[in-house]
A = this chain, B = another copy of it.
């Protein structure tokens, strides 16, 4: 038996990780501000005392998280990660966990009514205008499946944006990315529920304009329950994993 001495596992990080962390910290701590250009690769290589290849690997590591983007396709720039950028990572993760419609719906049930409620007090005039425009659009494309799907997704997205809550936006990113496109897509093709969708959206919109959080929340709940029924009636099993569709 070994003595009961325990050494900590020593943490030998490869250089590209170390560099990546340092850059990440510099960005998060505000040392390099959003919108600023990152030094050129050659500069960085010199500063950190490593080769350009190493720097490049470090940069790639950050690029995926959306912290770094490119201004004009050449120089790298520090960016606020947009929800869709981060959403892709999350979606990949969920797909690999074989997330089911049921699971996503449960999250939607937690977040979407909340978004409706919050939007009542936070929505600006512009937010409301965008929502109104979306309603008009929805009515127009009622019979075009693809366009209707896009409009439906946009409505929920606009609503979430109207909360001006970035945490909420990020938390519901997978809904935009995975859930609605696939699930609503199926439902719309199978049941043509355009009218029902529009009615729900209109009530939610009205509630927001009336500054009536309870009503907004309530209608969104109804809308989501309706949605669930749609899935159940369609051929797609509610407890099935969401299929991979690139």
A residues with CB within 8 A of B? 16, 24-25, 27-30, 34, 53, 56-58, 60-67, 80-81, 86, 89-90, 92-97, 99, 103-104, 106-107, 109-111, 114, 118, 163, 165-168, 170-172, 174, 244, 246
Contact = CB atoms under 8 A, between A and B. Distances in A.
A96 B28 CA distance: 6
A114 B106 contact: yes
A72 B25 CA distance: 27
B60 A93 contact: no
Given A28-B246, A94-B170, A109-B114, 8 more contacts: A24-B92, A29-B246, A53-B56, A62-B64, A64-B64, A106-B118, A107-B114, A110-B171
Contact of A170 (B34, B66, B114, B174): B174
A94 B80 CA distance: 9
Contacts of A168: 103, 106-107, 110
A89 B29 CA distance: 15
Number of copies: 2
Contact of A60 (B61, B67, B96, B103): B61
B65 A103 contact: no
Contacts of A118: 106
A165 B99 CA distance: 8
Contacts of A166: 93-94, 97, 99, 103
